[in-house]
Structure 1
Amino acid sequence: MSSSFSTTNPAQKSEHTLAVLDDYLSLSETHFSSLPIGVSYFPSTLHAEHDTAALVARLQPYNMISSMRERTAFPATILAQLPNLKLLLTTGVRNASIDMSCCKERGIVVAGTKGTRHGETGAPPPGYASTTQHALSLLLALTSRVAVDDAVLKNTGGWQSGPAIALAGKTLGVVGLGKLGGAMARSCILGLGMRCVAWSASLTPQKVREVCDELGLPEGSIACVGKEELFAQADVVSVHYVLSQRSRGIVGREDIAKMKSSAILVNTARGPLVDEDALFEALDQGRIYGAALDVYWGREPLEPDSRWRTTPWGRDGRAQVVLSPHMGYVNKDTMETWYAEQAADVRRFIEGQEVGLRLA
């Protein structure tokens, strides 16, 4: 990630200034460069909890901020120190890291994005969720040993490192059968020939029947089971819960202990949904086959010395682990669409119009 930089349209003078945060792939400038305001880019993340003073100093001059998902948090302790802030742009339709009540109290408009691109050739169709594609990619990378064999071929001169795992006939356990969980279930049932069971705190057999109907699956394609049954039966557990105070740690030590020694856990939702220490211990001791993770606990980007990076996975009895850097939503189509929506909202705001999707 490069250092911060600023751009200004010299033909315009404006009272408005915009700080663009956490654009790791430098995709936003194309959309913001034509705005009649000064724009500054800060691609390196500062964390609200650990870098409070530096983050406040960075953001105090600006009355508009573009944020990307939950990479930078905006709790009340930060918002209270940003007296100039009038517009806070985020992406998607929710952001648990922004204190919405505080924004309302302080008169800060929070704008989300719908992520829609109508009529463009090659654009993803309505309802497409890139996180599902990524969850499936992680599962296949682990079970087909793609990452391990790629490293063997490139770095050691070796050939086949071990047998792949056939998924047809195996059981997928979906924790959270919402839009993303349902899409994962459908992909694995139709594409891989897997059986599927599902659980959430509020899931009922009637709701499962409705989900099957919405997904175009025959009734009975997904079974509604208890939590204990899911973790005991599933060959693959895929987590698709929304993180909240109630759901934090929803996959606990006891749940992980019930998993088969041949089982795999996939998490593309949020790290804190799973008990980190319990999962790490199970993997480090080889008590389950493996895990495929796109989300983590604490800071992101993941610290260079994080045990998730440095542990020699797959050696000395340890489980197989495939990691990706929170890429579930990071595809070019989605990111470009989000930044285009944010740029349009900046124009609306400076012209005194309502933003496209107001969250607070």
Structure 2
Amino acid sequence: MFPSTVRQSIARLPRRPSLAIIDDYLNTSESHFAHIPTSSLQVTTFNDIITPINETETARLVERLKPFEAISTMRERTAFPGSLLRSLPNLKLLLATGTQFETFDLVAARELGIAVVAAPGLGRTDKLNDIDSRPNIKKGGVHPTTQHAWALIMALSRNVAADDAVLKTGTGWQTELAIGLTGLTIGIVGLGRLGAAVARIGHLAWGMKVLCWSENLTQEKANRMAVEAGLPPDTFHAVSKEHLFRNSDVVSLHYVLSDRSRGIVGANELQQMKSSAMLINTSRGPLIDQAALLDSLERGAIGGAALDVFEIEPLPMYSPWRRTNYWGRDGRSRLITTPHMGYMDERLVNAWYAETAENVDRWLEGKEVLHRIA
């Protein structure tokens, strides 16, 4: 049970409360809130993002969000530290999506009487719309990021982006030989549910050897993760960080970002990689030292990289990662970039917004909200 003062703050709504839907780049949320009468709720959708990288941008973000009693977020595109929450005196309900909330200050939210709810991706409980219940994304094999990681690995190893570009521009035919994955070694940095799912596919599909490392990983835990993935207990090999980077043909990151893990892949790790190795990041941009990776790719020190995540998102137009007709030429490594699409699956995102809309319905009706985390 939550404190009565918190429950009362939810019940005592203004006559026409307001909801801000932020960071909805593709306007996916619109249909999920269409059934709510405008007389009951004022909905404002922001398709852009304000990144609080300095005091001016932080002030802009506060000014944008300050009027609203409820805010619907998309994953961690906008962080909600205590400093921001304390600057939003009208906020009573913060609607989060996904399963990770490291950038949300839940302690501060509780202190301020702000209800924070999640959207686990299973769909509405009242079946108001046509979205069926979805598989639980906490099981890594069904998570769309697992698919995206392999899409990037395959696109990089098979030269998909480079060959597509020369065909469409009429500047060539085949760019270079593809890399076969059969029998190669994949290194998994972070053997959680997603890392295990990615490793499982590589092992079953192409007989890849699996090396794993994380700060506290033991062989016993690696064996347990293999068994949970339906594989023999000795399939995943727990090794040192240096051993993984020196011996892997593909290195895929699946690590949770924290102060300790920031920059976990730096110049030293990149220097240890094979000259033909590929680095894949579908986790968080700051896990990799961006300057060190840029230097490594500029020199052609590794085979290539595929990045779905970046230190600043959306990626600024001036970012060196945006350069065209540059990567993979004149001795530089190949590079594939995607705009943080690992979780942007049609079914999953719609399920999140369906759950969010259900909680807004319940909030307006004075009912207990679902999936509450603060």
Q: List 4+ stretches of structure 1 deviating above 6 A.
A: 118-123
> 3-state DSSP class of the match of 1:346?
helix
- Conservation of the 8 A alpha-carbon contact between 2:121 and 2:134: no
Pick from 75, 79, 93 the counterpart of residue 81 of structure 2.
Answer: 75
Measure how far apart 1:351 and its partner are.
2.4
Range with bigger deviation, 75-84 or 254-263? 75-84
Aligned equivalents of 2:280 and 2:194: distance in 1?
Answer: 13
> 3-state DSSP class of the match of 2:296?
helix
Pick from 100, 108, 112 the counterpart of residue 94 of structure 1.
Answer: 100
Pick from 39, 45, 49 the counterpart of residue 49 of structure 2.
Answer: 45
Q: Could you tell me which amino acid in structure 1 is paired with residue 83 of structure 2? A: T
Matched, 1:115 2:121: yes
Q: Could you tell me which amino acid in structure 2 is paired with residue 116 of structure 1? A: L
Measure how far apart 1:157 and its partner are.
4.5
> 3-state DSSP class of the match of 1:211?
helix
> 3-state DSSP class of the match of 1:281?
helix
Range with bigger deviation, 244-253 or 254-263? 244-253
Matches within 5 A, 1:195-234: 195-234=209-248
> 3-state DSSP class of the match of 1:173?
strand
Aligned equivalents of 2:268 and 2:178: distance in 1?
Answer: 28
> 3-state DSSP class of the match of 2:340?
coil
Matches within 5 A, 1:230-309: 230-297=244-311, 299-309=312-322
Measure how far apart 1:355 and its partner are.
2.1
Aligned equivalents of 1:121 and 1:160: distance in 2?
Answer: 43
Measure how far apart 1:256 and its partner are.
1.3
- Conservation of the 8 A alpha-carbon contact between 1:252 and 1:278: yes
Aligned match of 2:4: none
Describe the shift of the 1:192–1:14 C-alpha distance in structure 2 as closer, same or farther (beyond 3 A).
farther
Q: Could you tell me which amino acid in structure 1 is paired with residue 178 of structure 2? A: A
Aligned match of 2:135: 125
Aligned equivalents of 2:297 and 2:89: distance in 1?
Answer: 46
Aligned equivalents of 1:77 and 1:348: distance in 2?
Answer: 28
Alignment deviations for residues 154-210 of structure 1 (CA, whole Å, 9 cap, x no partner) = 012521111000011110000000000000001111122211110111111111111
Aligned equivalents of 1:121 and 1:105: distance in 2?
Answer: 35
> 3-state DSSP class of the match of 2:280?
strand
Q: Could you tell me which amino acid in structure 2 is paired with residue 39 of structure 1? A: V
Aligned equivalents of 1:268 and 1:105: distance in 2?
Answer: 34
Q: Could you tell me which amino acid in structure 1 is paired with residue 145 of structure 2? A: T
Aligned match of 2:34: 33
Alignment deviations for residues 237-272 of structure 1 (CA, whole Å, 9 cap, x no partner) = 000001111211122221111101011100000011
> 3-state DSSP class of the match of 2:331?
coil
- Conservation of the 8 A alpha-carbon contact between 2:263 and 2:286: yes
Range with bigger deviation, 26-35 or 345-354? 345-354
Q: Could you tell me which amino acid in structure 2 is paired with residue 307 of structure 1? A: P
- Conservation of the 8 A alpha-carbon contact between 1:47 and 1:73: no
Measure how far apart 1:14 and its partner are.
3.8
Range with bigger deviation, 26-35 or 331-340? 26-35
Pick from 307, 330, 333 the counterpart of residue 347 of structure 2.
Answer: 333
- TM-score normalised by structure 1 residue count: 0.92
Measure how far apart 1:122 and its partner are.
8.2
Q: Could you tell me which amino acid in structure 2 is paired with residue 34 of structure 1? A: H
Measure how far apart 1:123 and its partner are.
6.7
Measure how far apart 1:97 and its partner are.
2.0
- Conservation of the 8 A alpha-carbon contact between 1:48 and 1:74: no
Alignment deviations for residues 83-142 of structure 1 (CA, whole Å, 9 cap, x no partner) = 000001111122222222221111111111111149989875343100010000001000
Aligned match of 2:333: 319
Describe the shift of the 1:166–1:123 C-alpha distance in structure 2 as closer, same or farther (beyond 3 A).
farther
Aligned equivalents of 1:155 and 1:163: distance in 2?
Answer: 20
Aligned match of 2:174: 160
Aligned match of 2:5: none
How many residues align structurally? 347
Matched, 1:106 2:112: yes
Aligned equivalents of 2:275 and 2:349: distance in 1?
Answer: 38
Describe the shift of the 1:70–1:121 C-alpha distance in structure 2 as closer, same or farther (beyond 3 A).
closer
Identity, % of aligned positions: 49
> 3-state DSSP class of the match of 2:154?
helix
- Conservation of the 8 A alpha-carbon contact between 1:175 and 1:181: yes
> 3-state DSSP class of the match of 2:246?
helix
- Conservation of the 8 A alpha-carbon contact between 1:203 and 1:224: yes
- Conservation of the 8 A alpha-carbon contact between 1:289 and 1:319: yes
Describe the shift of the 1:123–1:171 C-alpha distance in structure 2 as closer, same or farther (beyond 3 A).
farther
Aligned equivalents of 1:93 and 1:358: distance in 2?
Answer: 12
Aligned match of 1:6: none
Aligned match of 1:192: 206
Aligned match of 1:7: none
Which sections of structure 1, spanning at least 5 residues, go unmatched?
A: 1-12
- Conservation of the 8 A alpha-carbon contact between 1:20 and 1:40: yes
